[in-house]
Amino acid sequence: TEIWRSSWYVPCLASLETLQELCRKENLTCKSIGITNRSLKSYEVEYLCDYKVEEGKAYYLVKWKGWPESSNTWEPRKHLNCPLLIQNFLRDKNEYLSRGREGKAMKVRNHVKTLKPAIADYIVKKAKQRIALQRWKEELNRKKNHKAMILVENTVDLEGPPVDFYYINEYKPAPGINVLNGITTGCECADCPAEKCCPKEAGFILAYNKRKKLKIQPGLPIYECNSYCRCGPDCPNRIVQKGTPYSLCIFRTNNGRGWGVKTLQRIKTNSFVMEYVGEVITSEEAEKRGQLYDNQGNTYLFDLDYDSDEFTVDAARYGNVSHFVNHSCDPNLQVFNVFIDNLDLRLPRIALFSTRTIKAGEELTFDYQMKGSIDLTSDSAEGLSPSKKRIRTVCKCGAVCCRGYLN
């Protein structure tokens, strides 16, 4: 739970159970913590915590939605009408047994069969994780400004949503940095592209073909029609500004790479997939943060070095789905600089396009070296000042052509 004050958050130090108990005591509702008018007056199973067989009857320990854990009660199996929750309970129990060396799940104590405490504890943690990830998914889909869905999945460990990450749809500039300037007019095309369409006015060709797929080579900029242009939303030169067109899933990787992103739909070659957004900061500030991130083994800094190296995008705390896209030395996404409502060459938008056909269910990756980071091979690192020498992060992409390090 957070208290919103202008542009920053204050985390609430009270536990979820404490807040729920307070709401019930004061007869208040709060949907974000599960207290609704319905739950104030009724009992609904939130998840199942434990299991026992007593005198031949099966019982489940029930956590009631909107009630603190101190209100948990043992209920006969025949009184419960929650088949999905029972299914989750049994799946989590079997998953624990398959991973561990606990042997049989049941212990007999005075003719009462019970689960071992370690198993019950794991089941509760999985139930809480499932609820937290569901709430996070709902939050992401409330905040996104594109039509495609965002899913969240973790079948690997007990990790929940990131604690200090806030979803944004566009750049969040640091004080003194203006990411919306330089545009006062747009093209007058009735049917883009025409002779004086935006790309041609900037001295470049239209980036897209008739199928709205990328047709330019990496390194060339993309100039899309802007908010001053006469053309409408169906203009073939408005692609990146419409947002991610594909439903994506943030998932937990099983090889120690943390979270990753996979597509839920087939993506054709040269298609726009997503934009890389975050805080826009100065390169000096980026250098300071980079030292900290390297010590943590994180890489979220993206240098805006199309024309100069004055600014950097930091997606560590503020970002979109691209925050979770992993590195690969053999990626399926390519970086392009995009100009729409800002023609300042120091502040391009960063778009990720597919380099090949990507199957549904396949992980999305891009090469972190495309971020314009310093080449820290053994030869080049020797001449750097102490502030420029950074801890090298081992690459786990698994590609045949893997370079061994992310930076």
Decide if pLDDT at 43 tops 90: no
> Per-residue pLDDT averaged across 75-104, rounded?
88
| pLDDT number for residue 85 | 97
Instruction: Give 19 or 47, the one with higher predicted confidence.
Output: 47
Decide if pLDDT at 382 tops 70: no
N- to C-terminal Cα separation, the chain: 36
Q: How many CB atoms lie within 10 A of CB 134?
A: 12
Q: Which residues are annotated as a binding site for S-adenosyl-L-methionine?
A: 257-259, 326-327, 368, 396
| pLDDT number for residue 37 | 81
Tokens of 200: 């041609």
The answer for 183, left when phi > 0, alpha when psi is -120 to 50, beta otherwise, is beta
| pLDDT number for residue 378 | 31
Entry pTM: 0.84
Q: How, if at all, do strands 73-76 and 166-167 pair?
A: unpaired
Q: Are 222 and 350 in contact (CB under 8 A)?
A: no
- Could you read off the pLDDT of 240-263 as tens digits, one per residue? 999 999 999 999 999 989 999 999
Give CA–CA dist 143/316, Å, rounded. Answer: 17
Decide if pLDDT at 377 tops 60: no
- Which whole-number Å values give the CA distances from 232 to 188, 238, 241, 339, 398, in the listed order? 11, 9, 13, 18, 44
Q: How many CB atoms lie within 10 A of CB 95?
A: 14
- Could you read off the pLDDT of 199-241 as tens digits, one per residue? 999 999 999 999 999 999 999 999 999 999 999 999 999 999 9
> What residues are labeled active site?
276, 368
For all residues of the chain together, what is the average pLDDT? 87
Q: Which residues are annotated as a binding site for Zn(2+)?
A: 187, 189, 192, 197-198, 225, 229, 231, 235, 329, 395, 397, 402
Decide if pLDDT at 22 tops 50: yes
- Could you read off the pLDDT of 292-304 as tens digits, one per residue? 887 777 779 999 9
Q: Which residues are annotated as a binding site?
A: 187, 189, 192, 197-198, 225, 229, 231, 235, 257-259, 326-327, 329, 368, 395-397, 402
> Per-residue pLDDT averaged across 341-367, rounded?
96
User: Of all residues in the chain, what percent carry a pLDDT higher than 90?
Assistant: 65
Q: Which amino acid is at 381?
A: A
Cis bond upstream, residue 76 (ω within 30):
no
- Could you read off the pLDDT of 109-160 as tens digits, one per residue? 555 599 999 999 999 999 999 999 999 999 999 999 999 999 999 999 999 9
Q: How many CB atoms lie within 10 A of CB 225?
A: 26
- Nearest CA to 317 out of 289, 349, 345, 339 is that of 289
| pLDDT number for residue 375 | 35
